[in-house]
Amino acid sequence: MMHYQRNEKKKLLWFTKPLLVAFLIAVFFTSCVVSLSPLYHDEDLLTDQRLEGKWLNTGEENETWQFIPAKDKSYKLLHTEDTNRAEFKVHLLKLNGNYFIDLYPKDLSLDNSLYDFHFIRVHSFFKLDFREDELALYMFDSEWLENLQDSADIELKLHMQDEEHAIITSETDELQAFVKNFVNDSASFEDPLILKRQQ
């Protein structure tokens, strides 16, 4: 049995190549774009009562999202698939007049210490449209990002884990600049996930 102290884990995981990431967001998207840095600065954060409550994924009857107000302009998200529940910290912000949410998973705890230290938590973020009794969540399309990267028409540090998983390694300012540049380009996003209010 190998044992690693938490501070040792933080030092070691950055030397792991290729980068292995715990993709702890739901698998309903055909592609996955995550970031090592948050999309927000503290001064960007908002709260909105329209986000609060329990929501049902209209495409998956056993999947719910429950947003609960928390401290420091944040929300706790309880995401449930069947009987499996995961907890995230969520922040709401606006960029170029568009709402976004940034999701960050609660600590990952695995029984195998060697296996555990190969995983790091990452941010995922979604463009958010408030609709009557619905939320529409849009994620950047990883294939579109890869094509953009190949054309050199991108100022973003990006690692393609595979064809469907992209890891953004840019800092927050560079990430925000990129999002603002492409937020109104419909081709850059996947089809939305639609959540229907339950409570």
Distance CA 185, CA 179 (A): 10
Whole-prediction pTM: 0.82
pLDDT of residue 23: 42
pLDDT band for position 3 (cuts 50, 70, 90): very low
For the chain, give me the number of helices (H) and strands (E)?
A: 4, 12
Q: Identify whether the C-beta of residue 86 lies closer than 8 Å to the C-beta of residue 65.
A: no
How buried is residue 73: exposed, middle or buried, by Cβ count under 10 Å (0-12/13-18/19+)?
middle
pLDDT value, residue 152? 60
What pLDDT does residue 170 have? 93
**Residue entry with tokens 């976004």:** 100
Please state whether beta strands 193-197 and 53-57 pair in parallel, antiparallel, or not at all (unpaired).
antiparallel
Ranges assigned E (strand) in 23-141: 32-35, 45-46, 53-57, 63-69, 75-81, 84-95, 98-105, 123-131, 134-138
Secondary structure (3-state) at 11: helix
**pLDDT tens digits, residue range 123-175?**
999 999 999 999 999 999 888 887 887 766 667 887 877 767 788 999 999 99
Segment among 3-7, 181-185, 188-192 with least mean pLDDT: 3-7
**Do residues 168 and 158 touch, judged by C-beta distance below 8 A?**
yes
- Give per-residue pLDDT as tens, 74-125: 999 999 998 889 999 999 999 999 999 999 998 776 778 888 778 888 999 9
Collapsing DSSP to helix, strand or coil, 48 comes out as coil
CA distance 31 to 144: 10
Q: What's the pLDDT at 31? A: 59
Q: Which of 7, 37, 11 is nearest to 121 (CA)?
A: 37
Mean pLDDT of all residues in 3-31: 40
pLDDT tens-digit readout, 24-82: 443 344 458 899 999 999 999 999 999 999 999 999 889 999 999 999 999 999 999 98
